Structure 1
Amino acid sequence: MNATDRTPADLLGSALSSDPARPLVTFYDDATGERVELSVATFANWVAKTANYLQDELSAEPGDRLALLLPAHWQTAVWLVACSSVGVVADVGGDPAAADLVVSGPDTLEAARACSGERVALALRPLGGRFPEPPAGFADYAAEVPGQGDRFAPYVPVDPHAPALAVDGREFTGAEIGAAAVELAKLPERQRVLSTLPYGTWDGLAYGLYAPLATGGSVVLCRNSDRLDEDGLARRKEAEQITVTAPAAP
């Protein structure tokens, strides 16, 4: 990262220009056996489609607040950077009743119904699969997003010094996110990070997305890793060539 006013969307754009083929996010769900690896280019394509969906279909504007009710997951990472691309404030675990729109996983749909604005649901099924039947009152992300455009341009330039992220009682501007994540994680350049932390904390977001993105690295994001024993986790670290492991939550 070579400037103080670069948002996560800017950082992704730089990564796409410099090394689009390198892995960026590798996701494991140890409850389902799922493994998904997204290169910078593939991740950026999902971000562009999601940002287009936010801007064009959901009519989101800079400064709108989006309650993000999703676990640590590759699709959550996509939504976080898509919000940055549009200028929408991603309120991780935020109150849906106080939000302009809400994005929910299958386990938080009832809480998400408190949002009076647009509601989007993610099934979080392997390979980004759809709900067998969309939840009443929600758009199914997996059905809506694939047809969106592969390139994104905001209608209004995003102010890097406007609020962009709220998590665990803290708020960050777009320009602060990457720098604060690097300061917390203190990652050298181009590290491969393994994180089992939830996304509902700043540490989880910093190690699980923002610091690797800002330092040219990559992340192996593990959900339901409590199902792995110590040997299983050690084998994963070896197989994925992990160089840094996020510290366990206190």
Structure 2
Amino acid sequence: MTSPAQDTPAGLLASALRGDPGRPLITFYDDATGERVELSVATFANWVAKTANLIQDELGAQPGDRLALLLPAHWQTAVWVLAGFSTGLVVAPGADPAGADLVVSGPDTLEQARACGGERVALALRPLGGRFPQAPAGFLDYAVEVPGQGDRFVPYAPVLTGAPALLLAGGGAMSGGAVVERAVASAHEYGLAPGARVLSRLPFDSWAGLAAGLLAPLAVGGSVVLCRNAAGLAPEQLATREATERVTLTL
């Protein structure tokens, strides 16, 4: 018998909100643009709620639908991951959009995303969450659609711990409960404690990237410094960032 959402990934975020909603949860760097964005638990949760309302009310997605995410490691990708979990979708990072019920794409994968026969959403991934100068044909512009969504989200039906929640390449679908259990296990493997701050340069299309860049720190009351386009950072630049951001583990 499955139980409702307290043991789901969305429940991890709800627990963080009950703890210290003002603390940083995700600090994002894009070293190609110089962008730095910091989101508290409360701000991140607000983005998740708005995105979940968009999924449920505007896109008409149903629990169990497959959500293909064609996105890099980015704070908005983390939002979509948690919003997908919150609405009972099966989140499938890097999945073939032809087999998905809806797809979310960055600006570099739009042609690939057109293979999806369902709803298509495009993210410009511009600084400050900016919109496309002109929305790509056949796509909703996330930055246009999400601001008007509600700040509180309640699913039409409870999201159960045993329901499929995550599909990664080369494996079967993991339930929400299994995602939480694995996130806690990864946190223990990394040696994370409450307040841990993880710097991740890993993509979000694998468990390692999802765990390091979002789920393991979230499971233990930690936070993330998420770095995109950081391959060119010199060792001394990385060391400076680690010190400035008070990083406790780099992956």
Above 0.5 in TM-score? yes
Cα displacement string for residues 211-249 of structure 1 (whole angstroms, at most 9, x for unaligned residues): 001000000000011121000000000000001112xxx
Of 184, 188, 210, 2:186 maps to 184
In 1, Cα distance between equivalents of 2:53 and 2:41: 18
For residues 94-133 of structure 1, the aligned pairs below 5 Å read 94-133=95-134
CA offset at residue 159 of structure 1? 1.4
- The equivalent of 2:76 in structure 1 is 75
Q: Hey, what's the Cα distance between the residues in 1 that align with 2:130 and 2:235?
A: 31
Q: Is the 8 A contact 2:6 2:12 kept in 1?
A: no
Could you tell me how far 1:4 is from its partner in structure 2? 10
Deviation at 1:177, TM superposition (A): 1.1
* Counterpart Cα distance in 2 of 1:172 and 1:33: 36
Structure 2, unaligned runs of 5 or more:
none
Give the distance between the partners of 1:151 and 1:5, measured in 2 at CA: 17
SS at structure 2 position matched to 1:133:
coil
3-state SS in 1 of match to 2:167: strand
Structure 1 runs (4+) greater than 3 angstroms displaced: none
Tell me, what secondary structure is at the counterpart of 1:83? helix
Cα RMSD (Å) of the superposition? 1.3
Q: TM-score, normalised by structure 1?
A: 0.95
Deviation at 1:181, TM superposition (A): 2.2
Deviation of 1:27 (Å)? 0.4
**CA 1:11 to 1:185, structure 2 compared with 1: closer, same or farther past 3 Å?**
closer
Partner of 1:173: 175
TM-score by length of 2: 0.95
Name the counterpart of 2:226: 221
Residues 149-160 of structure 1 correspond to what in structure 2 (within 5 A)?
149-160=150-161
The percentage of counterpart residues that share the same residue type is 68
TM-superposed CA distance for 1:169, in Å, is: 2.0
Determine if contact 2:187/2:219 at 8 Å carries over to the other structure.
no
SS at match of 1:221: strand
Separation (CA, whole Å) in 2 of partners of 1:180 and 1:84: 15
Q: What CA deviation, in whole Å up to 9, does each residue of 1:83-115 have, x standing for no partner?
A: 111000111001111000000000100010000
Give the distance between the partners of 2:135 and 2:234, measured in 1 at CA.
36
Letter in structure 2 aligned against 1:136:
A
Instruction: Decide whether the 8 Å contact of 1:31 with 1:227 is kept in 2.
Output: no
Q: Is the 8 A contact 1:101 1:117 kept in 2?
A: yes
Deviations 1:130-179 (A, max 9, x none): 00000000000000000000000000111111110112323321111122
Unaligned runs of 5+ in 1: none
Query: What one-letter code is carried by the residue in structure 2 that aligns with 1:28?
Result: Y
What secondary structure does 1:225 align onto? Answer: coil
Structure 2 distance, partners of 1:53, 1:167, is: 24
